[in-house]
Amino acid sequence: MKRKWLWSTLVAGFVALMVGFVPQPTQAATESYTIGTDVTFPPFEFANKQNQYVGIDIDLMNAIAKQQGFKVTIKPLGFNAAVQALEAGQIDGVIAGMSITPERQEKFAMSDPYYQSGTVMAVAKDAKIKGLSGLRGKRVAVKTGTASADYANAQKKKYGFSVVTFDDSNNMYQDVMTGNSAACFEDKPVMQYGIASGMKLKIVGKTTMKSDYGIAIKRSESATLLKKVNAGLKALKANGQYDKIVRKYLGNGSEAAQKKKTAGTSETDRSFMGLLKSNWGTLMSGLQQTLWLTILGILCATIVGVLVGLLGVVPNKFAQGAATTFIYIFRGLPMMVLALFIYSGVPSLINEKIPAFVAGIITLTLNEGAYTAAFVKGGIAAVNPGQMEAARSLGLPWGKAMRRVILPQGIKIMVPSFINQFIITLKDTSILSVLGLLELTQTGKIIIARNMEGFKIWSMIALIYLIIITLLTWLSNWVQKRVNAA
């Protein structure tokens, strides 16, 4: 009967597997594409008060998809993360106010131009700098990978200034407003929109380095998606829908029109409590993602860490060497480098996409698992060696001696470290914002892009982290007391 049941199970599993490979009839299958975008580049892409992404790029991409009859999923990843994801084949394209350059045309298939921009220099509102000549000996802020950054780097030797690079626009603006940098370089419509939204900067000098924005498409989609995008752009410009989308966010393109577009936020709304109330739902959504990452990450890291830690104490040189190597590699790698390697590097090797959330969990598992393995190994080593010798002398095999005698004592030593590792994992999730995950830190960037209230929003996020960490610290102390009393 057991054999019959086993064969029946195997046959059923084989049939189910084969059914999964058999093409199933579908109803008018529609092609679907994933397009990456930035998270803080208003008016081209930004989150509104309902935490929904809007902007020229978002509306334009959706209109192209509708006009050409394909489905599109737009993923806000951040400019750098989006470009890296496209290079790794994780997504099909990027629309993020990306200037068409020869270097990008070599890597990607670039669409026809859809917007002409230019680079401007901005300084603090009360600054006396009037042009590039006033930057000698000073520091300038730029955003990684942008045409404006290329322009600043090309001019720094001539005008004698240094350049500091940021991953997002908001931190770049904040660096100038706090006086750490004398100026920043940005695309003109983006800077105009930010100033109209209340950012305390002003544009000085002339618009330079005029460039066209294009949509980057991966090379393998040149014959399909690229043709559809170009055809859609042409049709939207012909029927007037393109102009309608641009006017919706920029008016006629003048600074006065943009001020009118962004007017309406009262001083009450910009108070700490007003901002907290209006953004509470968004912050809680980011916190929920952070907690999910933390819980799943610590569970997986604990399993991996305990196994590797035990592997490091078994009486076998090869096993001990494997455990030591694992701890050395994944504890030594910076977490951001590991996250980007897993999300952007590995897919190019295996030709399979890795979702950002999965890449985040794998990163936490490997990084936090290495630290967990180290303190599990250390906790076991801290138990008096005489305990193992006594257990073995009583006839207990190594495994039973470890399970019955050593581990119960070692766990008491490890418990505080387990709770502390949970706290560390909670904080480390903020690094995963580099993958575009909408955890608490990334959510803060999105909110700041909308209201330019960096100090107040970061204060809220810091307060949320402190409250949770305080609760976890109390839990750690309570658990430690209970364990010691047992």
Residue 476 is predicted with a pLDDT of 76
Give the pairing of strands 115-124 and 53-54. Answer: unpaired
Does CATH number 3.30.1540.10 belong to domain 274-485? no
Please give the helix or strand (H or E) that residue 72 lies within, else none: strand 71-76
% residues pLDDT > 90 (the chain): 36
Instruction: Give the mean model confidence (pLDDT) for residues 310-324.
Output: 87
Instruction: Give the mean model confidence (pLDDT) for residues 452-476.
Output: 86
Residue 112, pLDDT above cutoff 80: yes
> How much is the pTM?
0.68
* 25 DSSP 8-state letter: P
As a whole number of angstroms, the distance between CA 147 and CA 124 comes to 22
Q: Which of 60-64, 399-403, 462-466 has the lowest mean pLDDT?
A: 399-403
**Residues with Cβ within 8 Å of residue 363, at least 6 apart in sequence:** 335, 338, 339, 342, 432
Contact by Cβ (8 Å): 124, 177: yes
Gyration radius of the chain over CA positions: 28
**Residues with Cβ within 8 Å of residue 473, at least 6 apart in sequence:** 423
As a whole number of angstroms, the distance between CA 224 and CA 324 comes to 49
Terminal alpha carbon distance of the chain: 49
Cα dihedral angle (397, 399, 404, 406), rounded to 10 degrees?
110
Residue 138, pLDDT above cutoff 70: yes
Residue 19, pLDDT above cutoff 50: no
Can you list the positions of beta strands (E) in 125-200?
Answer: 139-143, 162-166, 183-187
Contact by Cβ (8 Å): 110, 96: no
pLDDT band at 17 (very low <50, low <70, confident <90, very high): very low
Residue 56's CB is within 10 A of a number of other CB atoms, namely: 24
Residue 122 is predicted with a pLDDT of 95
Instruction: Give the mean model confidence (pLDDT) for residues 151-172.
Output: 90
- Burial bucket for residue 409 (CB in 10 Å: 0-12, 13-18, 19+): middle
Q: Which of 3-7, 74-78, 283-287 has the lowest mean pLDDT?
A: 3-7
3-state SS class at 36: strand
* 48 DSSP 8-state letter: -
Residue 329's CB is within 10 A of a number of other CB atoms, namely: 12
Instruction: Give the mean model confidence (pLDDT) for residues 29-43.
Output: 84
Beta-bridged to residue 45, according to DSSP, are: 41
3-state SS class at 121: strand
As a whole number of angstroms, the distance between CA 69 and CA 65 comes to 6
138 CA to centre of own chain: 31
Please give the helix or strand (H or E) that residue 116 lies within, else none: strand 115-124
**Residues with Cβ within 8 Å of residue 476, at least 6 apart in sequence:** 416, 419, 420, 423
Can you list the positions of beta strands (E) in 256-308?
Answer: none
Its sign, for the CA torsion 452, 455, 460, 461, is positive
Instruction: Give the DSSP per-residue string, 239-280.
Output: HTHHHHHHHHHHTTSSHHHHHHHH----TTTTSHHHHHHHTH
Instruction: Give the mean model confidence (pLDDT) for residues 391-404.
Output: 75
Contact by Cβ (8 Å): 348, 277: no
What's the mean pLDDT when you consider all of the chain? 83
Residue 139 is predicted with a pLDDT of 95
Paired tokens of 277: 């109330």
Instruction: Return the top range by mean pLDDT from 1-5, 218-222, 362-366.
Output: 362-366
The structural domains of the chain, with segments of one domain joined by +, span 274-485
Pick from 167, 36, 53: nearest CA to 90: 36
More confident residue, 410 or 184: 184
pLDDT band at 199 (very low <50, low <70, confident <90, very high): confident
Contact by Cβ (8 Å): 94, 216: yes
Paired tokens of 339: 């996250």
Paired tokens of 408: 């119960």
Its sign, for the CA torsion 64, 69, 75, 81, is negative
Q: How far is CA 91 from CA 27, 84, 247, 446, in A?
A: 25, 9, 29, 21
3-state SS class at 115: strand
